[in-house]
Amino acid sequence: MTAAVQKKVYISCNGCNRRLLDAQRLKNYLLANGYEITGFPGDADYLVFFASALNKVRIDESFDIIRKLGRYKGEIIVLGCLMETAPTEFNAFWKGKALPVKDMDDIDLFFPDIKVPYKEIPPDNFPLSPGNIYKDISPGVFIKQRLNLMLSPLKIADKLYGYLHHNKKEDYNTTFIWVSKGCPNLCSFCAERRVVGPCISRPAGEIVNEYSKLLEAGKRNFEFIGDDVGSYGLDLGITLPHLIQQLNKADKDYQVNWVIKHLHPKFIIRYKNEFIEMASSGKIRELICCFQSGSNRVLKLMRRQHTIEEVIDTLKEFRKVLPEIRLATNIIVGFPTETGEDFMKTLHVYDKVYFDRVHIIKYYDAEGSDSYAITPKVTDHEIARRIKLAKRFFKKRGIYFQTRD
Ligand code: SF4
């Protein structure tokens, strides 16, 4: 009797940490079911790709990667966010197998002879190493990308500035713990909420057990992760502060660091006292509060459910109690109808609260978002001008920035 030939799978992802964690869980699932993971697309029977749809650049890249994967003999399976963020383009382009994030449990249907279903594989604490997909599938594109970076004086200037302020960069030495999947909020610029589905929280006891085991294994730096961590527990009739209390009991004999991000600002406002208490214990060194716009008119159109004054007052309190806390944020530049005056209001928030780090996000008009229907749009040229202005503004104040333009 001859042994069954092990099927090989090539897994790639151009998405964020949440999708890289999903990719690692998928890898564990395939290994548990007797599949082999290969780093060579040409050897693979299946080519699994987690396709990011973060912005226009990423969407174009995702389509390009799928096209290039099509040169190999293996069957392509597209996962991730692309199918709900750019549905018309995706449906016209792709007739093969695909699943959005919220339907990952159905992955069992794509692989024959599965013995351990996907839902029985626990979430992983470490993301799949991202690598550069183009290195594997198109070295020419990989070299071109590197050259473009080296030959652009503006990009070099930004890189140099980033290098000089690298102490304010995000710390990636982290053990991740999933607290919930999905998001119940309705931000109008976000297509991701349709991809991830409604919020489903893990029971607090399960999270605390996982945390205790990781503490015993010597881990000390944690990021609690979810599509909106602030919504944790609302589907179970509990709240994030309830979970935090339980975690505090588990780690009372240890010196630990926590990062809590992917948290809608309305929850930072709502749970302000609990967060300040936690940060005072030294556990939270950094708070990420993505206020997106300094204009209440724009915030209303974004359906963010808070005013900019509430954000400013809350963060000022953090700064007063904990002058050393690192504050980080995201801003969206060029949301539909944003005027020059609205944009200046966003920059003026930095005159009221000091942020150490900011992510400047060029507004992307995703078909799957509600803001797709809001007009008038801001022209690309005007968005580029505002981003340039923002960079100059942040450089003057020594604020570390990253861009997704
Ligand atoms: S909280 Fe985040 S994931 Fe949820 S709708 Fe808003 S932007 Fe999207």
Tens of pLDDT, residue by residue over 200-215, are 999 999 999 999 999 9
Q: What is the pLDDT of residues 70-79, one digit of tens each?
A: 999 999 999 9
The mean pLDDT value for 233-240 works out to 96
Among 180, 188, 193, which residue has the most ligand 1 atoms within 8 Å of its CB, making it the best to mutate? 193
Strands lying side by side in the sheet with 75-80:
36-37, 8-13, 46-51, 75-80, 97-100
- Mutation choice for ligand 1 from 17, 18, 228, 305, CB with most ligand atoms inside 8 A: 228
Comparing 70-74, 94-98, 115-119, 323-327, the range with the smallest average pLDDT is 323-327
Looking from the CA of residue 185, the nearest atom of ligand 1 is 5
Cα 390 to Cα 328, 339, 344, 345, 386: the distances in Å are 15, 14, 9, 12, 6
Give me the pLDDT at residue 113, please: 87
Please state, in angstroms and rounded to a whole number, the distance separating the CA atoms of residues 311 and 334: 20
Q: Is the pLDDT score of 3 beyond 60?
A: no
Residue 95 pLDDT > 60, yes or no? yes
Question: b/e map of 119-137 (b: 16 or more CB within 10 Å)?
Answer: eebebbbebbebeebbebb
pLDDT confidence bin for 229, thresholds 50/70/90: very high
Protein residue whose Cα sits closest to atom 6 of ligand 1: 187
- The pTM of the full predicted model, rounded to 2 decimals, is 0.89
Ligand 1 centroid to Cα of residue 72, in Å, is 36
Q: What is the pLDDT of residue 4?
A: 64
DSSP conformation letters of 6-23:
PPEEEEEE-S-HHHHHHH
pLDDT score of 19 more than 60: yes
**Which domains occur in the chain, in start order?**
8-141 (3.40.50.12160), 154-403 (3.80.30.20)
pLDDT at 244: 92
In the reported structure, the alpha carbon of residue 308 is separated from the centroid of ligand 1 by a whole-number distance in angstroms of 17
Span 120-132, average pLDDT: 90
Kindly state if the Cβ of 8 falls inside 6 Å of ligand 1.
no
Whether ligand 1 lies within 6 angstroms of the CB of 264 is answered as yes
- Residue 98 CA to ligand 1 center (angstroms) comes to 23
Nearest atom of ligand 1 to the alpha carbon of 196:
3
Q: Among the listed ranges 155-169, 257-271, 312-326, which one has the minimum average pLDDT value?
A: 155-169
The reported pLDDT for the residue numbered 404 is 66
Q: Is the pLDDT of residue 143 over 90?
A: no
pLDDT value at residue 295: 98
Report whether pLDDT(405) > 70.
Answer: no
Q: Is the CB of 185 under 6 A from ligand 1?
A: yes
For the chain, report the end-to-end CA distance as a whole number of angstroms. Answer: 57
- Residue 32 or 3, more confident: 32
Instruction: Please tell me which of 276-290, 300-314, 388-402 the model is most confident about, judged by mean pLDDT.
Output: 300-314
User: Nearest-CA neighbor of 14 among 111, 82, 116?
Assistant: 82
188 lines ligand 1 (CB under 6 A): no
Say yes or no to pLDDT of 49 above 80: yes
Atom of ligand 1 nearest to the CA of 262: 2
Q: Which of 107-121, 131-145, 175-189, 339-353 has the lowest mean pLDDT?
A: 131-145
> Residue 101 pLDDT > 90, yes or no?
yes
Report the separation in Å between the CA atom of 253 and the middle of ligand 1, taken as the mean of its atom positions.
35
Report, as an integer, the average pLDDT of 262-279: 90
**Tokens 């609260």 identify what position?**
353
**Ligand 1 contact via 263 beta carbon (within 6 Å):** no
Tell me how many helices (H) and strands (E) the chain has. Answer: 16, 14
- What pLDDT is stored for residue 151 in this prediction? 66
Looking from the CA of residue 184, the nearest atom of ligand 1 is 4
For the four alpha carbons of 363, 366, 368 and 371, in that order, the dihedral sign comes to positive
Q: List, for residues 151-162, the tens digit of each pLDDT value.
A: 677 777 777 777
At 137 the pLDDT is: 83
* Cβ 101 under 6 angstroms from ligand 1: no
Confidence grade of residue 175 (pLDDT, cut at 50, 70, 90):
very high
